[in-house]
Amino acid sequence: MPLLLDLQPDAYPLLGYRRKQLLEWVFVHGAPSFDDMTNLPLPLRAELTEQYALNPFSRTETVESSDGSVKYLFTLFDGRQMEAVYMPYLDRKTICVSTMVGCPAKCAFCATGSMGFGRNLTPGEVVGQILAVSWHQGFSPREMRNLVFMGMGEPLLNYDHTIAAAKLLLHPQALGMSKRRVTLSTVGLAKGIRKLAAEDELGIKLAISLHAPDEETRQQIIPTGQANSISEIMAAARDYQAVTGRRVTFEYAMLSGVNDSLWQADMLADLLQGLVSHVNLIPMNPWEGSGFVETPEHELQAFYDRLENRGVPVSVRRSRGRDAGAACGQLALKQPGAVAGA
C-alpha cells in the first residue's frame, strides 16, 4: 500500500477544498489516522484508508533525557528500526531526523556506523518522523521550526528521497519551514555537494563532517575519505558557496589524541582561508565499544583558542541527550528505559 507522505502536495488525492482539508489534517493537525479527519465524509475516509497508509511506523518508543531531549525509536512496517531526536528549547523546537536505517559511511567514532547499512528511507518515512514526534509531544507539526538531517545515514547517498523530503518541509501547503532553519549534514561527498548546490529552489544549509584536516587522520576515522579527499571536499564546498552564497558549517568531533593537536587546528585554519565558514567543535559523545575518548576540556579550549586567534568563526556544540543515547554519534537503537508509545 503506498504511503501518502511519499507524495508531494500537488499529487495528493482529492481535489479543491477536500485536498486542502486533507493537507491540513496531515501537516497542520498531525492526524495519526484518516479516521481522525472528522470533516471528511466517512465514505471518503474509508476510501483513503483502503488506498493509502498514513503512518509509516508500526511502533514508536521513547527514551527521555534529563535535559528534556527525547530519543524516538521507530519500527518500520518491514521490521527495521531507526531513530530521531527531539530537542526542545525555550525559543524553538528542533528535530534531528534520519535518512537511512543504519549508515554505510562507517565513521569509526560513530555508533550508527557500527550498525552497518539497512536501507534508505522514503521521503514519507523521513517526514513521518516529524509528524510522529509532534503528535506524541502534543503540538502541531508546523511548530517544529528547526530540522537537521543529522540522524542515522548519509543524506547525500539517499539523495532523491532526501531532497523530496526537504521539499515537503519547505512546501507552504506541507510543513512550511524556512530554508534557513533546515540543515543537511554530510560526511563530505563532493559530487553530492555540487548536486545539492544546483537545487536552486531549496537553499537549505550545508554542514560538512570534516573531523580532521589531514588525509592520514581523516582516512583512519572516516573510510569514505579514501574516495573523497579533503582537497576535493574543500573544492566542492567553495563551489557550493559560489553558487548559493551561503556559509558552510564544518563539524569537528574532538577525539583525544587523534585530531585535537594544535598543528591540526592550524591546518584546519589554513584549509578554511577565503571561505565563509563556521566550525562546530563537538566533544566526542561516548558509546560502548567506540575505542575513542573525548578531548579533555583544557585541550578543547586550546584548540578553540587557536582557531579563534586565526580568525576562524568557531563554537563548541554541546550535544543534548547524552544520557539517553541521543547525542551526536550515539544513535544505535539502544533503548535504556524505553517507553512504548502509540
Rounded Cα gap, residues 209 and 137, in angstroms: 30
The answer to whether 285 is a known ligand-binding residue is: yes
C-alpha cell at 242: 559560489
Tell whether residue 209 is among the known ligand binding residues. yes
CB of 298 closer than 8 Å to CB of 256: no
d(CA 105, CA 227): 11
Q: Which residue(s) pair with 248 in the sheet?
A: 206, 277
H or E element, residue 249: strand 248-254
For the record, the C-alpha cell of 288 comes out as 560502548
Could you tell me which of 73, 54, 75 has the C-alpha nearest to residue 133? 73
| Cα 178 to Cα 146: distance, rounded to the nearest angstrom | 8
Extended strands (E) in 178-335 = 182-186, 205-209, 248-254, 277-283, 314-316
In order of 12, 146, 238, 251, 319, the CA distances from 180 in angstroms are 26, 9, 19, 18, 21
Tell me: is residue 96 an annotated ligand-binding position. no
Whether 153 has a binding-site annotation, put simply, is: yes
Contact between 338 and 63 (Cβ < 8 Å): yes
Question: Which residues are catalytically annotated?
Answer: 83, 328
As annotated, the binding site for [4Fe-4S] cluster includes 103, 107, 110
As annotated, the binding site includes 103, 107, 110, 153-154, 185, 209-211, 285
As annotated, the binding site for S-adenosyl-L-methionine includes 153-154, 185, 209-211, 285
